[in-house]
Structures are given as C-alpha cells and as structure tokens.
Amino acid sequence: MTASPGFGNHLVCLSTLIQRRFAQICAEHDLTTAQAQLLCLVKDQPRGMTELAQLLGLAKPGLSGLIDRTERRGLVQRTSQNNDRRLCTLVSTPPGKEIGDALYADVAARLPEMFAHLSPADRCAFEKLIDAALHEQR
C-alpha cells in the first residue's frame, strides 16, 4: 500500500510544528536549537568530535563553530585524551549539565502537550508508529 499524495506534506507540516515548539523551548532556556541538541548529547556522557558530527549531521568546521560558541558560554568543555590534542572529547560543564537536564525535562513534558487532544489509545498508537519509523532509520 502506498501513502496518499498528501502524506509527505502532512509529515513536513508536523515536523514544522514540532521544530517551532522545540525552538520556543530552547529560546526560553537561552539556547539555539543547535546548542540545545549539543547539550543534550553531552549532558550525561563525554563524546568525541567525530561522533558528535555524525549525530548532529554537521561537517567538522560547523561543529567546531557550534562548540566554540557553546564553550564561550561555559556550557561545554573540550578535553584532550592521553595528551594528544588531535583526539578531543566534549564534556558538559556543571552549568551545562544543569541547563541540559532542565531543557531535556522541559522538552519531554511540553512537546507531548501538542498531542493532548488525542485519546490515550491514539497517543499510544502514534508513539508505536514513531518508534517503528525511527527504528527503521537506524
């Protein structure tokens, strides 16, 4: 069975709504969406630059600029491994972890509000469909 012609458009509209809400939540935490994604990735564990570039879908120069801006705010810190400056890991600072945890909790609480009008059964079915789509992309 193929999707209806409007299905792709519906997905784009849904993505736009979610991204707008996410951007609003990020702004309330004084973060750009890119900084928020970065903080959420490093808030609980250090990550290498190659892994971050892949997870964020950024080229290394773009990632470096994002890290520079976030590091200037004192939210993340670069650390070298085994005295080799070429191998760099990014860690969250205590203020970065605090903001990252608060943002993560806020997103987890507020994004689902967009679907509060759905019945519990429909929300559960929707979540299963999203999980299946995400699993297929991994």
Tell me the per-residue pLDDT of 104-134, one tens digit each, with 9 for 90 and over.
999 999 999 999 999 999 999 999 999 999 8
Asked if the model's pLDDT at residue 80 lies above 90, the reply is no
Asked if the model's pLDDT at residue 1 lies above 60, the reply is no
Q: In what order do the strands lie in the sheet with 84-92?
A: 47-48, 84-92, 76-81
The first and second tokens of residue 5, run together, are 């012609």
Tell me what the mean pLDDT of segment 8-29 comes to: 95
Tell me what the mean pLDDT of segment 82-88 comes to: 70
Tell me what the mean pLDDT of segment 66-90 comes to: 86
**Entry pTM:** 0.84
Phi-psi sector, 82: left (phi>0), alpha (psi -120 to 50), beta: left
